A = this chain, B = another copy of it.
């Protein structure tokens, strides 16, 4: 619907950007104080809207949590698809998938910690979330297998490698602060270097001694 010659956002665009702002705020609040300690009132207040306006987008807190999971999974599969296009080796694809996923999670959504609140989902939502998460984990294990086969990744157990890496990744929003000493880009690059050293067939002889001194933006 092109109205006002597209100089103002359409109704659909407005709906989407309001919904996205709501998701960001909810994810940040869940991360900060936990799902159970966060109220819809608080989320509405932080956004400067009424609780009634909020119900227009999500009927309750559980629906909002599930939408955070879905957004995280969208980011995950999108990162995977981009890495498969841009990188040739298993190691390159694994690194880029994780880096794209992490940087978007830190920048846009901070939703990783939400991944810890899965017990709060309704049983059908929980089952669907587990299914999506398993599919992403399987795809990552396949990248490790590809890397072992093409010689870019050391002989290792792909299942354990991914449990370990995803655990470290999911923990990051527990300690990362946008107001802290490291930017999202620096954190992503430094964590990727650590993961790569763990799994590369040619581990780097040294790593950054101070994450805060790493480049502030990526070349991408």
Tally of A interface residues using CB under 8 Å: 45
Q: A167-B172, A172-B167, A198-B198 are in contact. Are A190 and B160 (CB under 8 A)?
A: yes
Tell me whether chain A's interface is mostly helix, strand or loop, or mixed: helix
Q: Which of A2-10, A40-48, A66-74, A199-207 forms contacts with chain B?
A: A199-207
Q: Are A164 and B168 in contact (CB under 8 A)?
A: yes
A159 to B209, CA, bound (A): 10
Q: Which of A19-27, A29-37, A50-58 forms contacts with chain B?
A: A29-37
A119 sits at the interface (CB 8 A): yes
Q: Which residue of B lies closest to A205 (CB)?
A: B154
A214 CB, nearest partner CB in chain B, Å: 9
Q: Are A156 and B120 in contact (CB under 8 A)?
A: no
Q: Are B155 and A209 in contact (CB under 8 A)?
A: yes
Contacts of A175 in B (CB 8 A): 163, 167
Q: Are A154 and B207 in contact (CB under 8 A)?
A: yes
A194 sits at the interface (CB 8 A): yes
A88 sits at the interface (CB 8 A): no
Q: Are A33 and B169 in contact (CB under 8 A)?
A: no
A64 sits at the interface (CB 8 A): no
A111 CB, nearest partner CB in chain B, Å: 15
Q: Are B191 and A160 in contact (CB under 8 A)?
A: yes
A166-195 interface mask toward B, CB cutoff 8 Å, 1 = contact, 0 = none?
111111101100000010000100110011
- Report 10 cross-chain contacts, Cβ distance below 8 Å, ordered by A residue: A154-B205, A156-B207, A156-B208, A157-B207, A160-B211, A165-B168, A166-B171, A167-B171, A167-B175, A194-B198
- Pick the 5 closest A-B CB pairs, nearest first: A167-B171, A34-B119, A198-B198, A156-B207, A167-B168
